[in-house]
Amino acid sequence: MNAPLSPFLPFTRPSIDEETIAAVADVLRSGWITTGPRCSELEAALSARYGGRPVRLASSATAALGIALRVAGIGAGDEVITTPLSWVATANVVLEVGATPVFVDVDAATRNIDLEQAAAAVTPRTRALLPVDLAGLPVDRDRLHALAARHGLRVIEDAAQSMGARWRAREIGSFGDLVSFSFHPNKNMTSIEGGCLVMNDEAEARRFEKLRLQGVTRHADGGMDVDVLGGKSNLTDVAAAVGLGQLRHLDAFNARRHQLARRYFERFPRALGFELPVADFEQSNWHMFQPLLPAGSDRGRFIEAMRAEGIGVGVHYPALHLFTLYRARGHREGQFPHAEDIGRRTVTLPLFPAMADADVDRVCAALERVLRRGGA
């Protein structure tokens, strides 16, 4: 399927069709290029996908996640239990609202937050759980929500990577508490930059709208009021036009990702000593394909050698508690051994809908050449 890509194969690339490009041109010609009718249309389409739950757009998933914390009433003195194996924004937004991110290690197989350790980390100051679906593989939603219910906690899902993923046949976002998605260019659908939050009711949606744009409430007579400190996190109609085009293809995109992931499992040179991800084809959306390098490998050398082969490799993600910002807050090496090991050895191989089957074969052949000649 598809013609092989050449000469350089990046680890990701968005697929944007001519109809979507034309829709962007229409928005530019309309004169209404900031938040407007296309944003409303995309919010309505997403709401319909998630069973009528209210959905509001934001300029990024980071912004949506930060507003979600404020919608949930999380602030100074509160604790939020989360994972150290994620993009650093997951923890940064907790700090930004004045709360404390409490890290627990990940499960070595799924690479998602270890819910048994999360349960042990609950204190009287814990207000929320903030799990991440790493690479689009969902956290166990049954155990997650049972834990939250047991302690009266909010659940703020960092589902940035899991657009179209499912838990027990139910699409992520169609149930649960507060669910944030990303539309960054490397995600399964994009609006160039952008994200959204799925909420429980219109009261939460109205609060989100105010926090998204300076706390403003507009009145029918042209007046306005500001009763809460908001920021500026609104999405543009230009971005929403891209998002609408992408949403139409999301299921096909994800189906192709599944096909490519299956081929990786079929063709991967297993004798090289990599550790492959969980082969979940019922629930994951296969946002990324991430094997772990053999123990003791030099990842920088491996990435350079693969680039010389014409193959792009990403790293998602280093264990974030080892960044200077979080070391300064008392974190240290050895606290979360699974996250640290995965963070040191993970590599993101090319996986995106425009790839051909032959591109997967090309990656696997390059892996074998690089590892056998000691390029890692």
Task: Give catalytic residue positions.
Answer: 187
Name the residue among 291, 294, 299 with its Cα closest to residue 273.
Answer: 294
* Residues 292/345, Cβ–Cβ less than 8 Å: yes
Read off the tokens for 241: 């036009």
Contacts of 287 (CB under 8 A, 6+ apart): 135, 136, 161, 162, 163, 165, 187, 188, 257
In the block, which residue shows the tokens 């042990």?
A: 120
* CA angle (136 as vertex; 164, 268 as ends), nearest 5: 115
Distance (Å) of CA 64 to CA 42, 56, 180, 205: 15, 9, 6, 12
**Are the C-beta atoms of residues 130 and 85 closer than 8 Å to each other?**
no
Q: Is residue 155 within 8 Å of residue 306, measured between CB atoms? A: no
Alpha-carbon gap, residue 341 to 373, rounded angstroms: 24
CA 64/CA 194 separation, integer angstroms: 9
